[in-house]
Amino acid sequence: MTNQPPNQPPHQLRFDDRAAIVTGAGGGLGRAYALLLASRGAHVVVNDIDRKDDAGRTPAASVAAEIAELGGSAVAHDGSIAEPSAGPAVVDTAMQAFGRVDIVVNNAGIVRDRSFGKMSDQEIKDVLDVHLHGTIGLTRAAWGVLRERQYGRVVMTTSVAGLWGNLGQANYSAAKAGLVGLGRTLAVEGARYGIRVNLISPGAATAMTSAMLPEHLHERMSPDRVAPMVAYLCHESCTLTGEILFAAAGRYARNLIIETAGYENPEATVEDIAAHLPDILDTTSWTVPAQAVQLPPG
Ligand SMILES: NC(=O)c1ccc[n+]([C@@H]2O[C@H](COP(=O)([O-])OP(=O)(O)OC[C@H]3O[C@@H](n4cnc5c(N)ncnc54)[C@H](O)[C@@H]3O)[C@@H](O)[C@H]2O)c1
């Protein structure tokens, strides 16, 4: 798979000799990402939980075998990314198998939906552990390797729930919004080391969502329609960083956190705030702050 087949267009974006880690890649979106990256030459570490099917195969081993059957290069890592030891273990798997890490796709996820008042401590912890702590643990384990090589493409997975809120998903939304802060800060910190960090907000019919989506949308919402966006974010030609990109059902878009031009009055009283609320909320003029610290000129 390292040589480009003669019938491929010459401009195909490829990942030859790059090593990618994709968590939760034993199914759903992660599997689609792993297959696409491998089909374009990447060596892939396929991570997923250590749960065997009837044939005694784990989800990660199945997808790694699928990639190998298609002529690609992949190894499996079986184990929960929520475990504190998982990040270093996954990076170690990549280093042992391929001698490098270039790409980290933090994708593994679970939901434990319930209304906030009834949500248990365990349901909150489990969700934060997989999405937030799992992403922190793996990205931190890979960070040193990426920094040393002055190159990295990191993708984190947020969600419409984290960006806009969703009924019954307080735990999940908190984790997914936490990843936005994490990703944007790592984009700032990684800039000087050639590490780009972006977020994907995907929509697809998978084990996580199929039951909630009408049958007729399943094909249209194939994970394969999200994968090109994620693969692009993993490519060396991608110079974006700190972006939140949406991909679902063949539509690709940019999500923004904006700051309105607002209302300025250093002596503002509570009454001034009330009176000028329309100016504060007005979206006619706005900016996208590049990072938190932007002191006004002295
Ligand atoms: N499908 C959507 O519409 C949608 C929307 C927004 C965000 N997302 C996010 O996209 C990601 C992928 O979701 P999906 O829709 O493919 O779901 P999915 O359930 O089909 O796949 C998730 C995969 O992660 C694995 N996983 C779960 N816990 C893990 C752990 N602790 N360690 C390693 N692997 C683990 C699962 O075994 C599964 O293979 C998740 O982060 C999810 O929150 C999905």
Residue 30's pLDDT is what? 98
Residue 10's pLDDT is what? 65
Is residue 7, in this structure, part of any structural domain at all?
no
Q: Model's pTM, two decimal places?
A: 0.95
Q: Do 262 and 175 have their domain in common?
A: no
Residue 9's pLDDT is what? 59
Is residue 11, in this structure, part of any structural domain at all?
no
Enclosing domain of residue 295: 258-298
> Could you write out the three-class secondary structure of the chain?
CCCCCCCCCCCCCCCCCCEEEECCCCCHHHHHHHHHHHHCCCEEEEEECCCCCCCCCCHHHHHHHHHHHCCCEEEEEECCCCCCCHHHHHHHHHHHHHCCCCEEEECCCCCCCECHHHCCHHHHHHHHHHHHHHHHHHHHHHHHHHHHHCCEEEEEECCHHHHHCCCCEHHHHHHHHHHHHHHHHHHHHHHHHCEEEEEEEEECCCCCCHHHCCHHHCCCCCHHHCHHHHHHHCCCCCCCCCCEEEEECCEEEEECCCEECCCCCCCCCHHHHHHCHHHHHCCCCEECCCCCCCCCCC
Is residue 119, in this structure, part of any structural domain at all?
yes
Is residue 9, in this structure, part of any structural domain at all?
no
Mean pLDDT by 10 residues, the chain (298 residues): 57 96 98 98 98 96 98 98 98 98 98 98 98 98 98 98 97 98 98 98 96 92 98 98 98 97 98 98 94 74
Residue 134's pLDDT is what? 98
CB 206 near ligand 1, within 6 Å: yes
Per the structure, how many domains does the chain have? 2
CB 157 near ligand 1, within 6 Å: yes
CB 137 near ligand 1, within 6 Å: no
Among 22, 23, 29, residue to substitute to test ligand 1 (most atoms within 8 Å of Cβ): 29
Residues marked as catalytic: 172
